[in-house]
Amino acid sequence: MIEKMRDKDVKKQNVEQTKELCSSQASIDNGVQASKISILTNVILAIIKILTGIIGNSYALIADGIESTTDIISSIIVLTCLKISAKPADDSHPFGHGKAESIAGIIVSSFLLGAALLIATQSICEILAPHISPKWYTLLVLALVIITKEGLFRFVFKTGCESNSTALTNDAWHHRSDAITSAAVFIGITIALIGGKGYESADDWAALIACAVIIYNGITLLMPSLDEIMDASVSLEINETIREKSQSVDGVIEVEKCRVRKSGLNLLVDIHIIVNANITVKFGHDIAHKVKNKLLDSPLQIADVTVHVEPDHC
């Protein structure tokens, strides 16, 4: 009888693990697809911006095109790290390879900051070196870039949120920063064309101002990735949800501790529950499994749950 119950528990656990793997794989597949679209789009836009900038005398547009090449590199990094994070646990990495996703988030944020410094340096050099005004048709290219980049931001950001991927959401903000830079350059070139002589560097000043916004976003995006690497706690809302679900299981008197950390696209939970001190070990074990199953079946992307059973002091 005991053996049958054990076999039933093992089968149920295998089914749950299979469901979790399928869910994680679907999220990773969506992330990979979004990264591929980002890479292709950025390649096309980078070529268009650099060529138009050279022909149309817009150094800010050239710098913007160079920044797009960093977007290509960052998207490739995200794509690579998402594939690494999808690898199952092994002897060398018993908790899986999920941290690769957080590492990608740090690298992407660093690229964002680096790109902002690159554009700022180039803009200052162009301000100090007088040049002729950009051509009017650069505005058409910039309008196309702004619309495309904003659309790409919304697509990748939505995919990142649905996949719970910090790296993807950071990569999405790369697209938003590109749209911001292009919008600033658009305004600057418009001022240069309308103002005429003496306003030739207006697009460079505009790009310089946009860099401040990008640097702010880069620092803001860097912090969550660093928190994940350092195993910082998840939001209070998620922690409370896990506590409430665990508390609702029959036999659980109280949730003593609840520690949750993010690993890749998923959550790892370590929870201590208090049960009646007079029940059998088998009964306490069954309650722990019910708590684990309840959490794994929840909408939260929980990859694994460790449940510690503590007796009450009554």
Model confidence over 201-227: pLDDT tens digits?
Answer: 777 787 787 778 778 877 887 888 888
The answer to whether residues 54 and 183 belong to one domain is: yes
The answer to whether residues 29 and 160 belong to one domain is: yes
**Residues 6+ positions from 100 with CB-CB distance below 8 Å:** 81, 82, 84, 85, 264
Q: Of 229, 249, 277, which marks where a domain is finished?
A: 229
Kindly report the CATH number assigned to the domain that includes residue 260.
3.30.70.1350
The answer to whether residues 213 and 304 belong to one domain is: no
The answer to whether residues 143 and 74 belong to one domain is: yes
The answer to whether residues 166 and 62 belong to one domain is: yes
How many structural domains compose the chain? 2
Q: Is pLDDT of 292 > 80? A: yes
Q: Of 181, 201, 229, which marks where a domain is finished?
A: 229
Spell out the alpha helix ranges (H) of the chain.
2-55, 59-85, 99-128, 138-163, 166-195, 202-229, 236-247, 281-296
What residue numbers bound the domain in which 30 lies? 24-229
Q: Considering only CA atoms, which of 264, 24, 23, 250 is closest in space to residue 166?
A: 264
d(Cα 264, Cα 46) in Å, to the nearest integer?
Answer: 30
Q: Of 201, 229, 257, which marks where a domain is finished?
A: 229
**Of all helices (H) and strands (E), which one includes residue 268?**
strand 266-275
Least confident of 59-63, 115-119, 135-139, 188-192: 59-63
The answer to whether residues 201 and 96 belong to one domain is: yes
Taking the whole predicted model, whether its pTM rises above 0.75 is answered as no
Strand 302-311 versus strand 266-275 pairing type: parallel
Q: Note whether residue 17 is domain-resident.
A: no
**Residues 6+ positions from 120 with CB-CB distance below 8 Å:** 207, 208, 211
Q: Note whether residue 16 is domain-resident.
A: no
- Phi and psi at residue 311, in whole multiples of 5°? -80, 150
Q: Is pLDDT of 108 > 60? A: yes
The answer to whether residues 169 and 284 belong to one domain is: no
**Residues 6+ positions from 111 with CB-CB distance below 8 Å:** 70, 73, 74, 77, 174
